[in-house]
Amino acid sequence: MADKTKNNSSAEQNQALFVQLVTMLYSAAMQQMGKLVNPLTNKIEKNLEHAKLSIDMLSMVEEKTRGNLSDEEARFLADSLFQLRMNYVDEAKKTAEGEKEAPKEEKKAEK
CATH match for 2-110 among 3.30.1360, 1.10.3720, 1.20.58, 1.10.530: 1.20.58
Q: What pTM, to 2 d.p., does this model score?
A: 0.81
Q: From the CB of residue 57, how many other CB atoms can be counted at a distance below 10 Å?
A: 14
Using one digit for the tens of pLDDT, what is the confidence trace for 102-111? Answer: 655 555 555 4
Q: Is 31 exposed, middle or buried (0-12, 13-18, 19+ CB in 10 A)?
A: buried
Using one digit for the tens of pLDDT, what is the confidence trace for 34-67? Answer: 999 999 999 999 999 999 999 999 999 999 999 9
- Spell out a b/e string for 33-56, using b for 16 or more CB atoms within 10 Å of the CB, else e: bbbeeeeeeeeeeeebeebbebbe
